[in-house]
Amino acid sequence: MPIRQLSARGVRNLAPLVLLPHPRVNFIYGNNGSGKTSVLESVHLLSSGKSFRTHQLKHILNRDDDRLEVSIDLADSPDGEPGDSLYSLRLKNGDHLFRLNGSVLGSQADAATRLPVLVIEPNTFKLLSGSPEERRQFMDWGVFHVEASFIEQWRTFRSLLKQRNAVLKQKELEWLDVWNEGFIEAAEKIDDYRRDYLQRFKPEFDRTLKLLDPELEVGLSYYPGWEKNTPLADVLKKQAERELQLGFTQAGPHRAEIRIKSDKQNAADVLSRGQQKTVVAALKLAQGILFKESTGSPPIYLVDDLASELDGAHRLALCQVLEDLKCQVFITSIEKGQVLDTWQPAEYKVFHVEQGNVTEE
Ligand SMILES: Nc1ncnc2c1ncn2[C@@H]1O[C@H](COP(=O)(O)OP(=O)(O)OP(=O)(O)O)[C@@H](O)[C@H]1O
Ligand SMILES: [Mg+2]
């Protein structure tokens, strides 16, 4: 469901903020350093418990403040179900509290389910050039949101992996076969979830990329985390000696990734920055389209600095896919016209940010 109200205080340079966004398109513009990204960061923080630009949350807390609070009220569902309320409090000493509808949150996954958020920002090209972990997390965001039992399966797998690693470290050879059985079973389930997801995802990605840039040829291939087309049991048997030496598990779904190639080369090595941003946008948009197909409503998009790296035609194409998705979207830019000159959606609100103050126009 879209955000009905966003309140924040203690977030970077932002003055205490109460925002009533439009359920569809929200333009946020302002000079460098005015606080645009910080608005998006507040939303992201409630969804994932993390920032998309720093690993250390202490940097988000305003330098002169000792508490950071963000709360979001979501719109009621079309059948009249009252919208969820999410609230996060972080203190300077690191203590934090998260409430969902007034009760302490069980796990961050619950917040992500209520407030599904996808980000497209200037650093998103790292999804192509960064470590396999980034692409694995991207894929798992999709699997998690379309397959409710994935998270439980993943937790089971993680705990088996930990136990198997302990056995390897202690060189308890006699226990290895015992642990292998459960490990392989859990690994194959994760692999099945991911394969099913990617089978649906690939055609959606191809279609979306064509809309954004008909010239770009990019292929996705799935690497399960071990030798393709070989049973994991055989791989583990073959690698047993080496794994005992190393003391950890080398093959398994914790090593999976999606490989993204253009003309048989890594897309990150051959595509221009703008092309890379377009490919990443297609990945994120396709993910949102599948999400909507599975859950009935679209995720919320945070598009930071839309204009960077993209020319007018590519900006417009991206915005049109967002419009077709009928999602709530927050788009930042430095100048108001950078987006509005190329795209005038049917319904939208404009917010201006000036030295940490956000005002609706
Ligand atoms: N912990 C903090 N406390 C106070 N101010 C901070 C803190 N962290 C960052 N800032 C400042 O907050 C301001 C807002 O940053 P933000 O990244 O949101 O700006 P922006 O509008 O997105 O700018 P740009 O157009 O350059 O991307 C910056 O001036 C930054 O220096
Ligand atoms: Mg910014």
As for how many domains the chain has, the answer is: 1
* Nearest CA-CA partner of 41 in 8, 64, 65: 8
Cα distances from 281 to residues 49, 205, 278, 287, in angstroms, run 23, 10, 5, 10
Task: Look up the domain containing 189 and give its range.
Answer: 127-273
Whether the CB of 51 sits within 6 Å of ligand 1: no
Q: Is 282 within the bounds of a domain?
A: no
- The CATH number given to whatever domain includes residue 239 is 1.20.1050.90
Whole-model pTM: value is: 0.95
136 lines ligand 1 (CB under 6 A): no
Residue of 9, 32, 38 best suited for mutating to test ligand 1, as the one with most atoms within 8 Å of CB: 38
Q: Is residue 259 part of a domain?
A: yes
Q: What's phi and psi for 18, nearest 5 deg?
A: -130, 115
Contact 356, 14 (CB under 8 A): yes
Q: 241 lies in a domain?
A: yes
Q: Tens place of pLDDT for every residue, the chain, 361 residues?
A: 999 999 999 999 999 999 999 999 999 999 999 999 999 999 999 999 999 988 888 899 999 999 999 999 999 998 899 999 999 999 999 899 999 999 998 888 899 999 999 999 999 889 999 999 999 999 999 999 999 899 999 999 999 999 999 999 988 877 888 889 999 999 999 999 999 999 999 999 999 999 999 999 999 999 999 998 899 999 999 998 898 889 999 999 999 999 999 999 999 999 999 999 999 999 999 999 999 999 999 999 999 999 999 999 999 999 999 999 999 999 999 999 999 988 999 999 999 999 999 999 9
Dihedral class, residue 188 (left if φ above 0, else alpha if ψ from -120 to 50, else beta): alpha
194 lines ligand 1 (CB under 6 A): no
Question: Contact 6/328 with Cβ under 8 angstroms?
Answer: no
Is 135 inside a domain boundary?
yes
List residues bridging with 26 in a β-sheet: 330, 349
Nearest residue (CA) to ligand 1, atom 7: 12
Tokens for 280, please give them. Answer: 């990443």
Examine residue 9 and state whether it is found in any structural domain, yes or no.
no
